[in-house]
Structure 1
Amino acid sequence: MKKLVIVIFALVAITACNNSGNKKTDGDVSSTAVLNEDLSVVNVYYFYGKQRCKTCIAVGNVAQETIKKDFAGNKNIRFTEVNTSEKTNEKLVEKYQVTWNALIIVKGDDAVDITEEAFATANENPETLANRIKDEVNSRL
């Protein structure tokens, strides 16, 4: 009986990340354009799949709002949403070995993947995630 409950819970959790529909935003870019960008720019990449759960959306929102609010007007910092299901983003997804959703901050060859912390804090402690993003971006400026 316990195994059945665990299996059902796992299926519900997996399905939740696939139930929020398609959302195309202005931040969607092709991997070709991103891969050809200036390596002196700090890129905050939010990788997401075709459909997103509540936490997936929260991670993207906190990251985007943090960059807009705390780094407004700074041309050396760029927030980019990357839809992993789009064929045009395939090279970028491969470059960072993204298999699901991810939040990665990059400057040149210096990259940090803060996905685990992002998903652990985005809903309950968004300020913790925002502070981590700010710290990682500032350390690369």
Structure 2
Amino acid sequence: MKKLLFVLFAAFVSNACFSENANKANTSETSSKTTIENSAESLDSEMVYVYYFHGKQRCKTCMAVEQVTQETIDQLYGNNQKVRYKEVLFDEVANKALVEKYAVTWSTLLVVKGGDYTDITRQAFANARNNPETLKNLLKSEIEKRILD
């Protein structure tokens, strides 16, 4: 019985976080998102990019990861021209090269400089809602390592 409940819960969470939204109500939201055309080829190797990849339909934790990440970048690096936050819809054709470059299949948070990157997705999702300061500190640490590199 516990296994059945766990499987049903896991299926529900997966569907809520990672499935494509068939509802057209989010069309205005997705049209306002920036697409990253040819980004896989045109990255500045001196820049630190924080990429948040996601689909159209997202759960509360997915939205919290985005909010904490964006706030952290704005607060700590808003005036730093070497740090950029990019929100990437992984299911849009225009973002295909970037999605393939980092082998993204669902919501992912990466800190990238040149060919070096760190996937902090697991820590981001574990901390975004209940321990946002932990995520902020992790982002700061990963970005600072790359700025000094």
Deviations 1:74-96 (A, max 9, x none): 10000000000101101100101
Match of 1:60 in 2: 66
Per the TM alignment, residue 59 of structure 1 is displaced from its structure 2 partner at its CA by 0.6
Per the TM alignment, residue 126 of structure 1 is displaced from its structure 2 partner at its CA by 0.5
Deviating above 6 A after TM superposition, structure 1's stretches of 4 or more consecutive aligned residues are: none
Match of 1:6 in 2: 6
Give % identity: 47
TM-score (norm 1): 0.90
Per the TM alignment, residue 27 of structure 1 is displaced from its structure 2 partner at its CA by 5.4
Q: Which structure 1 residue ranges, 5 or more long, are not aligned? A: none
CA gap of 1:130–1:98, structure 2 versus 1, over 3 A, is same
Which residue, out of 24, 30, 37, partners 2:30?
24
Alignment: residue pair count? 141
Higher helix share: 2
TM-score (norm 2): 0.86
Matched to 2:8, the amino acid is I
Match of 2:49 in 1: 43
Distance between the aligned counterparts of 2:38 and 2:66, measured in 1?
A: 21
1:122 aligns with 2:134: no
**What CA RMSD, in Å, does the superposition of the two structures yield over aligned residues?**
1.9
CA gap of 1:19–1:93, structure 2 versus 1, over 3 A, is closer
The answer to whether the 8 A contact 1:19-1:52 is kept is no
CA gap of 1:136–1:81, structure 2 versus 1, over 3 A, is same
Match of 2:138 in 1: 132
Deviations 1:4-50 (A, max 9, x none): 32232122212221488733376522241463131110000000012
1:69 aligns with 2:79: no
